[in-house]
Chain A
Amino acid sequence: MDTMFVRGLKRKCFDGEEDIEGTLAGIKAIPSYNLQRQSLLDMSLVKLQLCHMLVEPNLCRSVLIANTVRQIQEEMTQDGTWQMINTQSTGQASLDRLVSTDILCRSSRDQAEGKHVPAYGTFNKDFENDQAQDSSDTMSTASAVQAPRNLQSSVWEMENPQENKGNFQKSLDQIFETLENKSPNSVEDLFSEVDNSYYDLDTMLTGMMSNTKMGHCDSLETFSSSTNTASNSNCKSDLNDLDHIVEILVES
């Protein structure tokens, strides 16, 4: 518990997390500092999003969590961790383009409606709409995909340091804007069809742990499989047709 890392910082995370340790059976007992930091970042982002669900978000708590997130982000930038993840992203180029078009589609649609949706939240909303419509997904699949989705979104955000910093900051800012002027429409739309297991932190961390074993490519494939139903984005219609055809082929 008191091991010192290269940076000279005491490890503060993953202190006796018994529920996590069970799932780490296959992995080495002490998670690396980067992994802890990443999970802390994810946990914090989830907490910030959860704030919107509360009747009255506690401003002090939100500010403290946001400061923690900023601190992690700054440290990761100094580390050069952004660049590290950037090199891994070459294999995901095709799907990245899909994702970025999705963002573009979403943002254009939102611009048409004149709403601001947090960048991080767009992933959630899109995903949750799909989840609601895709009845064939089982709970476990859903949670397993959601969790890597969580990681994926933050990974994607990390791909481009400059852009991501902007996106990241933008998402934080939008979170604050939403806190400041809570408009029921956008926020409730975000969470109207939420899957409860999404907010189970254990599940999220479990999914994240298992995701590291899967590797990025596998999780991306599971992501693509979940987007096979019609959504309100025109850009997905191609995927829908493709998957529909694949289904027919597989069943025959």
Chain B
Amino acid sequence: MTLNSLAATTAFGKDEGTRPEFSRQCTGRLLWSYGCRFSSQPGLRHRGPQPKRAAGPARPEPPAAVGDLLSGPPAAVGDLLPGPPAAVGDLLPSPPAQPRQGQRIRARSARRTGQAPTWGSGAQGPSSRRPGGHQPAEERSRGRRRSRGTGRAGPPVAAGGACGDTRVGPRHGHAAAPPEGFGSLMQDVLWCFSQVKGTIDAGVAESDIISTVEFNHTGELLATGDKGGRVVIFQREQESKNQPHRRGEYNVYSTFQSHEPEFDYLKSLEIEEKINKIRWLPQQNAAYFLLSTNDKTVKLWKVSERDKRPEGYNLKDEDGRLRDPSMITVLRVPVLRPMDLMVEATPRRVFANAHTYHINSISVNSDYETYMSADDLRINLWNFEITNQSFNIVDIKPANMEELTEVITAAEFHPHHCNTFVYSSSKGTIRLCDMRTAALCDRHAKFFEEPEDPSNRSFFSEIISSISDVKFSHSGRYIMTRDYLTVKVWDLNMENRPIETYQVHDYLRSKLCSLYENDCIFDKFECVWNGSDSVIMTGSYNNFFRMFDRNTKRDVTLEASRENSKPRAILKPRKVCVGGKRRKDEISVDSLDFSKKILHTAWHPSENIIAVAATNNLYIFQDKVN
């Protein structure tokens, strides 16, 4: 069943009408694209000849190929949408960006502009909340021209291990294959400190706390979102021949304010601007696209470089002021002249007003035309081109809210099958759904649940079984789930129990009452796969994070701290002692700092580079290069 027939059976009416009425933008273009998008077959994507677009509001031409709306040349921004966007103000031209007073200093390495200090260790003090006023949507920073499409392509190497999976890269050709020996044993991988971003001041501003970390599909870019609604994108330096031992470092590429705090007048509640998730779209042209979401609104951002600008207008002078027509005596044609490289971030789409509850996940589909957003009770399917309508595909809200006992905690699309997705619940179950079976996927195709161990039963059993994150493996055969104390790997073909269970911090099992009291038991840890699906990583307390090698069954605990922050210093494995005798390097359970929690981590898609978010600091570790 194609998404075209989905269009006819939208479950829109099921909602209690919290969505305001939208006037559908019924331009011919939209209808055309509506039909075109939904009937396209995945895999048919190809880039046709790009129509040249002049600057200014030109009449949009139908793109030659599916998905071309997103793939216009950077100079033609502004003419893709037929009318005013759903969220007024987002696409209005904004004044040039200035660094805000007290802003956490990002980017502008001394090497490039020599103006502001690097956003690295020892940078300025913590930033306060924005003093007020609208942070301009565009943020410009100097950057260096990067060549496109330089994936670390190579023959796919089958990672060692029982699963024997081969990496299947994204369809558009960035087959990021793991380098030789990537599936090597844990003991061969020594993790070294590479970089840390953020301030070291003791007083951490709430808005600086990092809330999401994500590499893009090639690993060239690393995006972070924080509680202040800002997104910072780092770009990897090209490896220099002078210093072969130093792998490419990540430096700030772009910073922008993605979400602002809002106020819901119906409920008299403030909507936080905290970025809950960032997901990258695969790169199809010179620009980068990412989705970022807060509790209620998803936005599609375009990050593009500009190194030319038109000069020599007839009616405007260089400042943009209109010239007096009587003073114009000569006609001239504007000429594109080179300028300093500038990185711009512009919001291309705003997907708002579709969620009553807090969005906890977004996931881009493998057809790259649709994505889903999941809140506590519902999951909606969006098309990237259509912002005023979404399809509801999962709804677990009971008719009577008093009967509510289970909520959705995470959701993700299958990496290759665009009709399949999974979502996890607060009761420790995972449901796999197939969108071909029905428009509303309330009935699951597969149901994954591990029977409870009666010997471990307590009042907190349900709380600690609540799944905080679910991730498909790159191969698409396995899913990994994170609950409070364990990480579990499930085979999609076996529903009754996971194939692997790893204890992250079992020593906390005896502390559950205290952790319930101070609310730490509700912390939502994330988990990630490495590029070859051989190693999994997740965070813990005291700025510890854990890695588990699925093949050798070895695990290691490392710490993200300033003490280990010498360049290329090898991270020493940490150990938590649970018994009476504490050895010299061990730390006892009672000494753990529960305010230092690592909830968000990311792993480079093809290399051994990891990004670990520790409150307001972002640590980047790499494996030791011999």
A interface residues with partner B (beta carbon < 8 Å): 1, 9-10, 12-17, 36-37, 40, 43, 47, 55-56, 58-61, 63-64, 66-68, 71-72, 169, 172-173, 176-177, 179-182, 184, 201
Contact = CB atoms under 8 A, between A and B. Distances in A.
A83 B268 CA distance: 43
A64 B270 CA distance: 23
B240 interface: no
6 contacts: A15-B513, A40-B513, A59-B376, A60-B409, A61-B519, A179-B401
A13 B358 contact: no
A150 to B, nearest CB: 15
Given A12-B513, A60-B376, A176-B404, A55 B269 contact: yes
Contacts of B510: 1, 12, 15-16
Given A12-B460, A71-B462, A59 B513 contact: no
B462 A59 contact: no
Contacts of B357: 59
Given A10-B455, A58-B358, 5 more contacts: A40-B516, A47-B519, A56-B269, A58-B522, A64-B522
B376 A12 contact: no
A64 B404 contact: no
Contact of B426 (A63, A177, A181): A63
B458 interface: yes
A68 B459 contact: yes
Which 10 residue pairs of A and B lie closest in terms of their CB atoms, listed nearest first?
A12-B458, A173-B402, A13-B513, A59-B376, A184-B268, A64-B463, A60-B407, A61-B522, A55-B270, A15-B510
Nearest to A72: B459
A58 B522 CA distance: 10
Contacts of B517: 43, 201
B540 interface: no
Contacts, number: 95
Nearest to A17: B514
Contacts of B402: 169, 172-173, 176-177
A67 to B, nearest CB: 6
A68 B513 contact: no
B337 interface: no
Contacts of A40: 459, 513, 516
Nearest to B468: A60
Interface centre among A36, A59, A72, A181 (most CB of B within 10 A): A59
Contacts of A181: 267
A63 B267 contact: no
A63 B404 contact: yes
A177 B463 CA distance: 22
A17 B401 contact: no
Contact of B459 (A58, A71, A173): A71
A9 B455 CA distance: 7
**A interface, by DSSP: helix, strand, loop or mixed?**
helix
Contacts of A16: 510-511, 514, 590
Contact of B463 (A59, A68, A72, A176): A68
Contacts of A17: 513-514
A59 B268 contact: no
Contacts of B377: 59
Contact of B512 (A12, A61, A72): A12
B405 interface: yes
Contacts of A177: 401-402
Contacts of A180: 401
Nearest to B454: A8
A1 B511 CA distance: 10
B434 interface: no
Contacts of A182: 267-269
A132 B410 CA distance: 44
Nearest to A187: B268
A102 to B, nearest CB: 25
Contacts of B405: 63, 66-67
A182 B270 CA distance: 12
Nearest to A170: B402
A1 B407 CA distance: 33
Nearest to A1: B510
A47 B519 CA distance: 9
Interface in B78-113: none
Contacts of B511: 15-16
Nearest to B460: A12
Interface centre among A43, A64, A201 (most CB of B within 10 A): A64
Contacts of B376: 59-60
Nearest to A50: B519
Nearest to A70: B405
Interface in B462-492: 462-463, 466
Interface in B121-180: none
A64 B514 contact: no
B581 interface: no
B142 to A, nearest CB: 38
B401 A176 contact: yes
A9 B462 CA distance: 15
A4 to B, nearest CB: 10
B305 interface: no
Interface in B224-273: 267-272
A17 B510 CA distance: 11
Contact of A68 (B455, B457, B462): B462
B400 to A, nearest CB: 9
B406 interface: yes
Nearest to B590: A16
Contacts of B526: none
Given A16-B514, A177-B401, A63 B406 contact: yes
B295 interface: yes
A68 B456 CA distance: 16
Contacts of B519: 47, 61
A64 B267 CA distance: 23
Contacts of A59: 357-358, 376-377, 407
Nearest to B271: A56
B404 to A, nearest CB: 6
Nearest to B266: A181
Contacts of A179: 401
A21 B406 CA distance: 35
Contacts of B459: 12-13, 37, 40, 68, 71-72
B407 to A, nearest CB: 5
B91 to A, nearest CB: 27
Interface in B22-67: none
A173 B511 CA distance: 30
B295 A56 contact: yes
Interface in B494-532: 510-514, 516-517, 519, 522
A14 B269 contact: no
Given A64-B463, A64-B466, A56 B522 contact: no
Nearest to B267: A182
A60 B426 contact: yes
Interface string B260-296: 0000000111111000000000000000000000010
Contacts of B295: 56
Given A59-B358, A59-B376, A63-B426, A14 B460 contact: no
A56 to B, nearest CB: 5
A59 B375 CA distance: 10
B597 to A, nearest CB: 16
A40 B515 CA distance: 12
